[in-house]
Chains A and B, each alone.
Chain A
Amino acid sequence: MMHIRRSPEEIAANRARYEDHQKKGLEFAPKALPAPSPLPALPISADAIIHQETIPGSWYWSTKLLRGEAIRIDQAESNSTVALVAWNAHDTSERINLVDTVKMQWTTALGKGRVIFSDMGRVMFSLIEDSSGANDCLMGGSTAASNAAKYPGVKTRNTRDNLILVACKLGLDRRDIAGVLNLFAPVSVDYAGGFAWRGKRSNSGDYAELRAEMDMLVGFSNCPHPLDPDPIYQPKPVIVTRFRAAAPAADDLCRTATAEAIRGFQNNTMMLA
């Protein structure tokens, strides 16, 4: 097999460039890690609210969300996990991409100040508020099989089927679900890569606010996370409020916290031009 290797000089130059880049990326880290949003959540002014939906435990919902609008997902009195998917409303082949999201921001810990990327290198959501600091992008949602194993003999709904219903009712199908973001899911990763439920980091009244950075279709499923230690299937309602967000200031945290977010928003600007 013929193969010509790159020269040591080329490799050294690339490595130096990467190390410089990594150093710059990590220098942003302190700014990218603000404290979780305070509880309780401040009320949203009534004239900003576009719609409010209570998703019953175990059910799904979807909404259109326009750029500049936001959604608050409020656990109300429950400690539910909410699984979320999203597509670009104008081209649904562009969708939430969690592997790019974590790789580009150097972390799987997605909380206040972070952004959620699409597969096209553009920002879909800014996480403008997040009181739990406990969101999971690795494990995905429950399935019929995972529920059957965890709640034997109990009739349950699951996130996989819920999100297939969401997709199909939007004219999409199961090919269009490439991963879900779990809000309010305190999953920890140990040095061997093992997952565990980190205790009750998620509290009644926890909330997250996601500002839309492009026009989107957003789907939700309100089912227990696969690692939720509660042995009884009893998901509680969550409240999703769609509202007009305040315009981002010049020093908006999500838009300035990392070099990667700055470049991602440049890609958004090119899309809108």
Chain B
Amino acid sequence: MTDFAPTCPPRSLENAVEDHFIPAEASWSGVVRKGQTIRIEDSYGQQAIDTLFYRADDFAERYSNQDTMRAQTGAYVGIGTKLISNEGNVMLTMTADSCGRHDTSAGACSCESNTVRFGHGAKYLHACRDNFVLEISKHGMSKRDIVPNINFFMNVPISPDGKMTIVDGISAPGDYVELVAEMDVLCVISNCPQINNPCNGFDPTPIRVLIWDAVTHIGA
């Protein structure tokens, strides 16, 4: 495990209200309350972390990659990016980012898309979409609730002529993002198991998720 990097003096490992280790290829979901900060840490580096957000009291309102890109008139996610819902509301704001490049235009891997991308021999491999289906089914949702997601730490440059390709991630071990929730949200993560492209250096690794209450609520 890497060292803890403080981004806000009152926040420490000791006063985190949640601390989750998510093994390679696994999924996780949990609620982040309005005002709380969630840190998603790429513990070993070069690991794509596919993430979706749903409004906690109305799952029909959820993260929208197109609305997020439209609202900031740009394709990439970084510090200051407001994550926008399909209803045009701000769900979370990215307040810290030690990496600098995250994708929201390339979506998640799936058994089905892997057949198209890599050939039918790649069909029976663990994929993010299956992680998402299993994870959201715990909350009463189904495949139709899966929408285009954010890929934290995934590097998908788009060139002016439109070309796009997934290239090696630039995140180092311990790189992290922090997002403050602007509404109560259900966060759903697939720690990407893809081993057919460089999104995680062909070697899926564990990640860590930490949650803190709003700074004003921490003693001190």
Contact = CB atoms under 8 A, between A and B. Distances in A.
Q: Are A and B genuine complex partners?
A: yes
Interface of A: 1, 3, 5-6, 10-11, 14-15, 17-18, 21-22, 92-93, 95, 97-100, 102-104, 106-109, 117, 119-122, 138-141, 143-146, 160, 173-180, 188-195, 226-227, 260, 263-264, 266-267
A120 B159 CA distance: 27
A18 B105 CA distance: 20
A193 B74 CA distance: 5
A145 B64 CA distance: 15
B182 interface: no
Nearest to A117: B116
B69 A11 contact: no
B116 A5 contact: no
Which range contains the number of B residues in contact with the other chain? 35 or more
Interface string B86-100: 101000000000000
B88 A145 contact: yes
A102 B164 contact: yes
A22 B105 CA distance: 19
B105 A102 contact: yes
Interface string B129-167: 100000000000011111110000000111111111110
Given A194-B74, A226-B70, A5 B162 contact: no
B86 A97 contact: no
B69 A195 contact: yes
Contacts of A195: 69, 73-75
Contact of A100 (B113, B147, B198): B113
A22 B148 contact: no
B205 A120 contact: no
Contacts of A100: 107, 110, 113, 116
